[in-house]
Structure formats: structure tokens, C-alpha cells
Amino acid sequence: MISRRQFIQTSSWIIGGMALSPLLYGCKPGYVTFGWVTDVHYAQAVMKWDRYFTESREKLIEAVLLYNEKKLDFAIETGDFKDEDPEPDKQKTLQYLHAIEDVYSYFKGPRYHVLGNHDVDTISKQDFLDAIENTGIAPDKTYYSFVQNKWRFIVLDACFRGDGVPYDSNNFEWYDTAIPQEQINWLEQELTNSPQPVCVFVHQPLDGEGNLYVNNAQQVRQVLESSNKVLAVFQGHRHEGGYNLLNGIHYITQKALVDFSGMTNNSYSIVRLTPDQQIIIQGYRRAASRILESTGVNEQLTTM
């Protein structure tokens, strides 16, 4: 386990000289500010597909240091937190997961995870959950919600095959991904009962059709849209990132942290939600910065 001293020593050369945003984040009434990373893919494996797995640990250290400096409300990673060797080995895979969670645990606040397909490539969902912490969430939950400063955040689990079987130790193809009816029913209930505006987190994207998207994305989008409460969906999986505005909901896909070599190719962000439902995304390194205005679909709700 990495010590606090080792953490600081390892990261001092990383963040030294880096131009940090002058904005101060902290908790203010009606605001929520959180750190967001996706597709960390940490493993001690050789590079492939421009994924530098071994560098992800240092990249995440940089993000966590900034998140602590800014005193954010929470941090979240939207899936593919770890990876595996070319010849998969369960014990090594678990070692990679523990090592990257060890870094993430240095964030001084609540932290959350979203299941990605690579998180269950050699291990089960329960193996993953046993190795990580979702603050205040029951340790057997792969989809869940939490409330922060009068905003509701919903985490979805799209790591199910189209036939409803949950992903488990490579029993799936990466492009066969769906959100089963039981979870959709739960989502509907969460949205119906929520007096707060809502943001959703999911690994596989919901804003399109095809191999890179949740197979029943259209069905899920209809549930989100009919609630008239969802402001945005934060996604991973598509390493190049992207953005869509569909029927009043912002769909934001962040660039993968793992891609390309060197700290200048890191990717992470700080997201601020305002009382008037503006989304301010400060992207760092390769991550895109955006200012997204309220579309008016939630005007009957308030965070104040």
C-alpha cells in the first residue's frame, strides 16, 4: 500500500510547474462541484492501441492532488478503472485494481465508481465491489443514487448482455451491452420520486446506436426524457470523447485518461453545477472544457 509520503513524493514532480486554474471551488449554497475521470485502465501491461496502462497511476495522482486542493464535493470515475494482462490472471488483475483504488482513496471526500466492461474482464462484479469503496453506498450495489447539495446523482450499470445476463469474468463481448428491465424500472422510480434535478453517470454511452453504445439506449433515453428532471448524462467508453444535446439532455463523454504517453496527455476535469442549472466543465490536459446552459426542461425544479 502506498504511504502518504510516497504519494506526495511521487506526485511532486508531476504537478510541479503545471498551470492550475485560478478558480476556487469549495461548497457554496446551490452549487455542486465534483472531479471526473474516466477510462483509467490501470495495469502493468505493455502498451496497445495507444493505451499506456502503466502511466495511469501517475496520471490519476495528478487529478487527485488537484481535487484535494480545490476541496470538491465528491469525485467519480465512469468505468474501466483497471485493465488486465494479455494473458489474463485474476490475482494480478485484482492487484491492479487494489493499486489504483489505493491512489483514488487519497481523495479527501466522497468518491464513487461506475462499472465498465474492463472492470469485470477477469473478475466478477462482486470482486470489483469488494476492492473499492462507493461512499455511503451498500457494498453489493452496482447501480445506485446519492444526493449532494440538493442535486440527485444516479449511477447506472450497463454491464449486462442483451439477454440480461450480468457481465462476469469475460462471459461477454464488449459490444453486447444493455440495461435490463429491472434496472430501468428502478431508474423510473428514482426519477419519479426525486424532488431534485438529476445528473446520470454511465460507462457505455446512451446518446447513439451501434457497437459503442448501450443496445437499448433509446429505451433508457425515453425514461430520462419523460421525467423532465435530467440535466445531463456523463459517460466514458468512447476514448475520443464527445458531446450531444438530445431532447433537452446534455450527453458528455470525456476523453480517456489512459490514452497516449506523458502527463501532457492526461485527461480529467472538474465539473460545477450552478443553481440555475448551468454546467461548467473545466477540462485539464486533453479533456475538453465546456459551458452548457440549462435547456429549460427542468425549470419547475430548483436547487435553492
286, part of any domain: no
122, part of any domain: yes
Q: Is 264 helix (H, G, I), strand (E, B) or coil?
A: helix
217, part of any domain: yes
Per-residue pLDDT tens digits for 136-164: 999 999 999 999 999 999 999 999 999 99
- Provide the domain limits for residue 215: 33-270
Question: According to DSSP H, which parts of the chain are helical?
Answer: 4-15, 56-70, 90-104, 125-131, 181-193, 217-227
CB of 97 within 8 A of CB of 81? yes
The answer on pLDDT for 304 being more than 50 is no
22, part of any domain: no
| C-alpha grid cell, residue 199 | 445528473
11, part of any domain: no
The answer on pLDDT for 5 being more than 70 is no
Rounded Cα distance between 205 and 246, Å, is: 13
Number of domains in the chain: 1
292, part of any domain: no
Rounded Cα distance between 201 and 188, Å, is: 15
CB of 27 within 8 A of CB of 33? yes
Triad 91, 95, 100: Cα angle to 5°:
150
27, part of any domain: no
Rounded Cα distance between 113 and 111, Å, is: 7
Read off the CATH number of the domain in which 183 is found. Answer: 3.60.21.10
pTM of the model: 0.90
